[in-house]
Amino acid sequence: MWPFKENSGKKSRGPKDPFTTIISIPGTWKSWDDLMQKVAVRCDGEYFIVGNMLIHIKSLRHYSLEMHDVDKDIVSGFTEAGKTTGMTETFTASLEKANSIIYISGPTGNLEEAEYIAFAATALLQSGGIGVKIETAGKAFEKDNWLELTNKFKPANLYNMFVVASVTDDQAAVYSRGMQNLGLKDTIIVGEDPQQAITTISVFSNYQITDKSIIQHKQVFSTQDNATKFNITIEKKHPCKGHQLLENPLGAWKLSKTI
């Protein structure tokens, strides 16, 4: 269950506006004061909480925090979102013992800001958090899996942290979900072998992240010289269109096999 309410009567977000990434972190906190104290003690002065904001001292970046009671569907929600990352029985048992859940949100829409909010989530994990779910991607992680990605951080990790590459629908489409967190279009492939489509989407997406390449409408792409070639076109209607959390306002790239 999503506790935030949509703001009514406000101007719709445009393609150049910052995107808001939202992350949920269940934990052992029994109260707001408990959360504040643990952040102050365990983050070595790198982060602190003022009001409902988590502040990163060095960069002065700040993130909104909300604390809620644990929803009865937390285990099923994390299990569903953790299909691509793996959820152990030990982890799901720990979720059932969580005292509360924190929602952290802030502007992203580019690689730098995604990295900053990823480490802000890490600070909360180190302060009593149990796991991480990227609400604006539908992807969840056990604590140790997330910490491994930040402890050995490299830009390519942002794709693994914020994007699901293996979403399918009943129209034989495979698409990514969550690239808006990084300021990029998602990718959709129709009518291809699902596993090969996932691989192609991952390579295509990482190419944009690590090489910072600018993709153009009607370019041709292949994962390697002798691999299948795909025409790149703009798919303005994102597969998650209308979903408050998962729709990518930038749309998607559609990869179609060349004839």
pLDDT in tens, 62-108: 999 999 999 889 999 999 999 989 999 999 999 999 999 999 999 99
- Full domain range(s) for residue 173: 164-257
Within this chain, do residues 194 and 216 fall inside the same structural domain, yes or no? yes
Q: Please report whether residue 11 resides in a domain.
A: no
Smallest CA-to-CA distance from 201 within 136, 137, 237, 254 is with: 254
Within this chain, do residues 171 and 237 fall inside the same structural domain, yes or no? yes
Kindly report, residue by residue over 155-165, the tens digit of the pLDDT.
Answer: 999 999 999 98
Instruction: Please state the pTM of the whole predicted model.
Output: 0.90
Q: Please report whether residue 46 resides in a domain.
A: yes
Q: Please report whether residue 4 resides in a domain.
A: no
Q: Residue 37 phi/psi, 5° resolution?
A: -65, -45
Domain count for the chain, please give it. Answer: 2
User: 55 in the Ramachandran plot: left (φ > 0), alpha (ψ -120 to 50) or beta?
Assistant: beta
CA 39 → CA 34, 36, 99, 223, distances in Å? 9, 5, 16, 43
